């Protein structure tokens, strides 16, 4: 009798554990993971090249990963998902343009190895981009300190406003490199800048190998993983824990002697700087630098990615970045060719799927921000 009663007593606890695990994993992640698996199964049924698809998933994972990683410091510092990551992206684009100008001026002519040449120009773009993005990020953080409680709404408009200002900059900036100048007018920057002669594929071609039809870009993935490791170490440092404390419980942090406003500025600056790094890694993999309004909605994509991974508007982990970036980009990579095969006469289905996933996940996360159901 005693063993039977003990078993009955344990049953609710086991059920409670399962329910808690399911709640922690989250309904959105279950839906997205199921959709991802179903898409792969359907691709196999239609005799599509699954290894090639998976190689593309890995490539997009590395392309978008650092941009998604930029959400961690912003969320942990208390400003929430950084919809204004466009500010950092613009700083990175400016750094890339200056790096191309430096190459054209012969600054890197002493480097004879093609691989090292590409990596050197990419690193120059990253250093310059981080410099400009950090300055803009600090100013951006000061602004967000003035609008506490409305950061997510304000950050969207900050991103759009910065994009409009830089559209003027791109149209007026004096450049001498022929690959940058708009041919029709002879001034201003092109909409698409070819990076073949600069850092296009600089990290994609590093340690690249084939497994059957699947291409693994180990260099690209390594850059992403190293950035994740550095962020993981930073978040466990004294400064990182102070920043997280300021974000999770500002009143307690102030009582402990932590300058909450300064920590919020730090989180915003790091997030913005990572945005600059992320866009350069994205561009070198894509092969082109897209100017003007191209990055307008990148903030929504990266926010949706980190939320799919399990992050909330108040907490984000490195695991959320890894899982979210993989699932989100995996679905979009497979959905386009699969939709074209399944519904050849219905245009725009992949784009509709992207919008549903992106905006649906953001809407779900915002509804849960204040304990909504």
Q: What CATH number is associated with residue 170?
A: 1.10.3470
- 25 in Cβ contact with 327 (< 8 Å): no
Average pLDDT over residues 160-173: 90
Does any domain span residue 22?
no
Does any domain span residue 2?
no
Q: Name residue 217's beta-bridge partners.
A: 208
Query: Total domain count for the chain?
Result: 1
pLDDT of 373 strictly over 50: no
pLDDT of 44 strictly over 60: yes
Query: Among 51-55, 120-124, 213-217, which range has the highest average pLDDT?
Result: 120-124
Average pLDDT over residues 186-190: 81
Does any domain span residue 114?
yes
- 193 in Cβ contact with 289 (< 8 Å): yes
Does any domain span residue 38?
yes
Domain housing 81: 27-366
- pLDDT above 70 covers what percent of the chain? 86
Work out the mean pLDDT of the chain and round it to a whole number: 83
Site of tokens 């409305």:
150
Does any domain span residue 269?
yes
Average pLDDT over residues 327-353: 72
E strands present in the chain: 192-194, 208-211, 214-217, 288-290
Does any domain span residue 13?
no
184 C-beta neighbours (distance < 10 Å), count: 8
Does any domain span residue 231?
yes
128 falls in which pLDDT band (50, 70, 90)?
Answer: very high
pLDDT in tens, 230-254: 999 999 999 989 998 888 888 888 8
Does any domain span residue 5?
no
Per-residue H/E/C for 274-293: HHHHHHHHHHHHHCEEECCC
Q: What is the pTM of this model?
A: 0.86
């Amino acid at each position: 009798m005693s063993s039977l009663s003990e078993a009955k007593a344990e049953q609710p606890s086991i059920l409670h554990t399962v329910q808690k695990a399911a709640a922690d994993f989250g309904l959105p992640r279950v839906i997205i993971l199921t959709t991802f698996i179903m898409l792969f199964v359907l691709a196999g049924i239609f005799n599509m090249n699954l290894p090639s698809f998976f190689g593309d998933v890995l490539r997009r994972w590395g392309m978008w990963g650092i941009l998604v990683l930029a959400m961690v410091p912003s969320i942990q510092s208390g400003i929430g998902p950084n919809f204004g990551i466009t500010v950092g992206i613009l700083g990175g684009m400016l750094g890339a343009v200056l790096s191309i100008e430096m190459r054209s001026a012969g600054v890197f002519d002493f480097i004879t190895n093609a691989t090292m040449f590409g990596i050197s120009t990419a690193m120059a773009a990253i250093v310059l981009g981080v410099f400009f993005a950090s300055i803009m990020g600090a100013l951006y953080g000061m602004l967000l300190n003035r609008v506490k409680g409305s950061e997510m709404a304000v950050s969207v408009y900050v991103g759009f406003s910065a994009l409009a200002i830089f559209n003027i900059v791109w149209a007026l900036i004096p450049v001498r490199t022929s690959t940058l100048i708009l041919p029709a007018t002879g001034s201003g920057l092109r909409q698409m800048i070819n990076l073949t002669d600069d850092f296009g594929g600089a990290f994609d071609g590093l340690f690249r190998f084939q497994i059957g039809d699947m291409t693994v870009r180990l260099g690209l993935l390594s850059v992403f993983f190293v950035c994740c490791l550095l962020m993981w170490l930073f978040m466990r440092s004294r400064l990182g824990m102070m920043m997280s404390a300021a974000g999770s419980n500002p009143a307690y942090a102030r009582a402990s002697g932590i300058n909450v406003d300064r920590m919020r500025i730090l989180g915003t600056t790091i997030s913005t700087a990572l945005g600059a790094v992320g866009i350069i890694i994205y561009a070198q993999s894509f092969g082109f630098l897209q100017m003007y309004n191209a990055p307008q909605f990148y903030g929504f994509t990266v926010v949706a990615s980190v939320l799919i991974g399990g992050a909330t508007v108040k907490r984000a982990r490195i695991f959320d970045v890894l899982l979210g970036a993989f699932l989100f980009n995996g679905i979009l990579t497979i959905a386009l060719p699969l939709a074209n095969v399944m519904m050849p006469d219905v245009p725009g289905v992949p784009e509709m799927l992207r919008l549903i996933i992106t905006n649906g996940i953001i809407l779900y996360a915002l509804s849960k921000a204040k304990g909504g159901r």
